[in-house]
Amino acid sequence: MWENSNVCILLVFLLIQLKMVQGYLKSKLPASEEILPVFSVILFLVFSWTLYRVFYVLPAWLMEMTAVEILAVCAYVFSFALLESLFVLGGMALLSLVLPARFFKQKFVPLGSLLTIFLGAAAYLIHPRTAELIPFRLLYLALIPVIVLVGIIVLIFLLALLFERLPAVRRAVTALAERMTIFVYIYLPLGVLSLVVVFLRLLFDIIIRVFTA
Amino acid sequence: MEKKRLTGINRRDFLKLAGGFSLVPLVEKPESGKKWLSQSGQSLPNIIILVLDALSARHLSLYGYHRKTSPNIDRFAEKAAVFHNHHSAANFTTPSTASLLTGKYPWGHHAYTLRSTISGSSAQSNIFHYLHEKYHTAAFSQNLYADKLLFQFEQYLDRHLPADSFNFSGRTIYTRLPGNEAVAGFRAYDQFMLNRTPERGSLFLSLLHDFNYLLRYRLAFRDLGEMYPLGMPSVDGCYANFTLEEVMDGVISLLDGLPTPFIAYLHLLPPHSPYRPSTGFRKVFNDGWEPPPTTVHPLGDVTQGDSPKKRQLYDEFIANLDNEISRLLEYLQSTGLLEKSYFILTSDHGELFERGELGHSTPLLFEPLLHIPLVIASPGQKRRIDIRTPTSSIDLFPTLLAIAGVEVPTPTAGQVLPLGNREGDHSRDIWALEAKNNSTFGPLKQATLALYRGNSKLVYYHGYKNYKDQFEFYDLDIDPDELENRYPADPAAAEMQAKLEAQLNKIRHQVR
């Protein structure tokens, strides 16, 4: 336990010391006003998909679980969806750090939104077919993330060029993303509430186990 | 005196630091709240229950199957009690395992569907609850649906190994959650968000999860590909692979460390599908044999594939498993554990390869699905006893309580098994129920109910659209393959029908 506390202290200390890189990050990352629309699109895709699947299996769940049990499962499900959304947003932030500002950061809202939509569509199409990868040789499997990353970067460059050639498309996508910020006010509270429920349930369980030891 | 501030740390930073401290308890996995039982009362025998998922007695050479699928179990049975007329209470894992662990027929515990849990009051009445005071209790299930039930008994388990303990690749998420949350976690993550179907709940991370699995699988398969030409054994429907050798090594190591007296419930997945025997057992039964032809049952699935090939693979998988069981038996013998333990080998349900069924997913209740093995070696037993009294998987519950000297709660549907020279009740009624499409909470609207009396078997298909309220009657003495439906001609059918209908009326409205 003592070793774990040392690790925690070290991590927090390092985070504090990383203040010096905070300035650098601020210059590379988009502003919060730009992150919000992109996050809205991510939330919309992730949560809408999850909700669609929940309603799809709900008749089966109603046969097997009580209402309280279903709500508990939903809390776990939507907290996962929130973390998934943050993960995707983190991926966008990473791209913003890595790619030249002209190609990504300066067009973050339209690019991030359209990229999210493309990735969501690709994920939907790939879902039924992942088992086809099982016979793939190890080398080909290992190449897949490289191919995906290169594909994303190429797509970003192509979209950046498209937005430069056709500003109307850029404006349209930006307008769509901005209108989707409404979903932040719906899905984000749902995700946060679910996270709080999960946290409290786990905490309660741990407390019970400690006191009944 | 001038106060010196800590260099580089303001109030905000200090609060962040303090927040880091609060994370410490969460970094620690909470220790199990239970204290180990101190060694006491060695006069009590240990109890080892080995459940082999989807193992049908009809496919064991021990029970007269013409393919030599279980030579090691056959040898072991020479010093054990072999129950020839033992039946499961249901035809798939959740209700059959629930019946085994609670001693109740499915209408008693209401775990009708695959993802059901046992109803609250019944969940308290489980073998671990009653034996917990006298035994160190340990449980391990490779089958995730059976493992989910074990989480309902968590407070009575001194040791509950995660289902993926001996997996070569593929980890579950729910087993990382503390006890009561594990069932919710199982349903949310392993069954819904990340499960191996296109309809799963996670859009992006599930793909990463798939990729992670595929990479690990290929890495493992690099070394083991030759040993498993059909692919490595896996947990059906999710990304997890294992080898039979490692699972058995794990089981042996678990037993090795248990304080005595202990009760160990070990639920292994093989020979459940996918049937993937290792190279040494592939094509050992390539004899072209087929059972007597049968027609597709109205409730069977006509789209089911090649049954002779599946049957052969299943038999080969059993032979592979039997080989590994010999190592377990060798360990128990060499360490002297077998002399001090009851060793119970059984199954939760069987498997069927005919009449439009390849596995156990339809509402059918033919004998290959319900007739399961039961072999019990008592401490120091030196000769074989063959018991032909009709018995049910619900009988294990009162039997284990009797072994431990614990009073059997009343009422209980099961009876103490006729071990030793005790004579059993040949006229007893044995039941089985299949209701996988019925709500766990509502009345029984769609179910298959089977009644055994002696060698007679009456089956009632209730509420199915394509086969509405039909009876089937078989005389298992003269027609063990159930080829001739003798309903309503056989005079015994009418009496059994009255009993079955009365029972159905009684249980139909018993809701959870």
Q: What is the pLDDT of residue B8?
A: 53
Q: Residue A165 carries which side chain, given as an amino acid letter? A: R
Confidence of residue B31 (pLDDT cuts 50, 70, 90): very low
- With b for 16 or more beta-carbon neighbours within 10 A and e for fewer, the B360-373 pattern comes to bebbbbbbbbbbbb
Q: Are B198 and A127 a contacting pair at CB < 8 A?
A: yes
Q: Are B192 and A77 a contacting pair at CB < 8 A?
A: yes
From the list B193, B219, B222, the residue facing A77 with the nearest CB is B193
Most confident of A141-145, B71-75, B151-155, B296-300: B71-75
From the list B19, B20, B178, the residue facing A205 with the nearest CB is B178
- DSSP conformation class of A135: T
Q: Determine if the pTM surpasses 0.95.
A: no
Whether residues A101 and A21 share a domain: the answer is no
Name the minimum distance, in Å, from the CA of A110 to any CA of chain B. 20
Confidence of residue B27 (pLDDT cuts 50, 70, 90): very low
Query: What Å distances lie between residue B505 and A54, B281, B499, CA to CA?
Result: 35, 48, 10
Q: Residue B333 carries which side chain, given as an amino acid letter? A: Q
Q: Are A13 and B181 a contacting pair at CB < 8 A?
A: no
In chain B, % of residues over pLDDT 70: 90
Identify the residue among A61, A76, A115, A129 best suited for mutation to test binding to B, counting B beta carbons within 10 A and taking the highest: A76
Per the structure, the complete domain to which residue A179 belongs is given by 31-211
Q: What is the pLDDT of residue A130?
A: 82
Radius of gyration from C-alpha coordinates of chain A: 21
Count of structural domains, chain A: 2
Q: Residue A193 carries which side chain, given as an amino acid letter? A: L
Q: Are A5 and B206 a contacting pair at CB < 8 A?
A: no
Chain B CB contacts of A136 below 8 Å? 214, 218
- Does A184 or B169 have the greater pLDDT score? A184
A22 reaches B (C-beta below 8 A)? no
Query: What angle is formed at CA B172 by the lines to CA B167 and CA B175, rounded to 5 degrees?
Result: 105
On the 0-12 / 13-18 / 19+ scale of CB atoms within 10 A, B473 is buried
Cis previous bond, B271, omega within 30: yes
CA-CA distance, B219 to B233, in Å (whole number)?
15
Q: Are B115 and A134 a contacting pair at CB < 8 A?
A: no
Chain A CB contacts of B189 below 8 Å? 76, 80
In the predicted model, is pLDDT for residue B176 greater than 90? no
Chain A CB contacts of B181 below 8 Å? 201-202, 205
> What are φ and ψ of residue A72, in 5° steps?
-65, -45
Q: Which residues contact A174 (CB under 8 A, 6 or more apart)?
A: A37, A109, A110, A113
- Does A213 or A188 have the greater pLDDT score? A188
Q: Are B179 and A205 a contacting pair at CB < 8 A?
A: yes
List pLDDT tens digits, range B395-450: 999 999 999 999 888 778 899 998 876 667 788 999 999 999 999 888 999 999 99
Q: Are A17 and B180 a contacting pair at CB < 8 A?
A: no
CA neighbor of B428 nearest in space, from B368, B362, B496: B496
Kindly report the average pLDDT of chain B as a whole number: 88
Q: Are A69 and B184 a contacting pair at CB < 8 A?
A: yes
In the predicted model, is pLDDT for residue B503 greater than 60? yes
Q: What is the pLDDT of residue B323?
A: 97
Q: What is the pLDDT of residue A10?
A: 77
List pLDDT tens digits, range A87-98: 999 999 999 988
List pLDDT tens digits, range A131-181: 788 777 888 888 888 999 999 999 998 998 889 899 999 999 999 999 999
Identify the residue among B154, B203, B212 best suited for mutation to test binding to A, counting A beta carbons within 10 A and taking the highest: B203
From the list B24, B181, B438, the residue facing A5 with the nearest CB is B24
In the predicted model, is pLDDT for residue A43 greater than 60? yes
> What are φ and ψ of residue B329, in 5° steps?
-65, -40
CA-CA distance, B370 to B96, in Å (whole number)?
10
In the predicted model, is pLDDT for residue A5 greater than 90? no
Whether residues A19 and A48 share a domain: the answer is no
CA-CA distance, B95 to B122, in Å (whole number)?
12
Whether residues A20 and A35 share a domain: the answer is no
Q: For tokens 């431990």, what's the residue?
A: B404
In the predicted model, is pLDDT for residue B28 greater than 50? no
Structure tokens given for B237: 């429907």
A125 reaches B (C-beta below 8 A)? no
DSSP 3-state of B265:
strand
CA B380, distance to chain mean position in Å, is 27
Q: Which residues contact B372 (CB under 8 A, 6 or more apart)?
A: B55, B56, B57, B86, B87, B88, B346, B347, B348, B349, B350, B393
Confidence of residue B13 (pLDDT cuts 50, 70, 90): low
Q: State which fold the B45-166+242-414 domain adopts.
A: Alkaline Phosphatase, subunit A (3.40.720)
CA-CA distance, B468 to B425, in Å (whole number)?
33
A54 reaches B (C-beta below 8 A)? yes
DSSP 3-state of B292:
coil
Q: Are A76 and B20 a contacting pair at CB < 8 A?
A: no
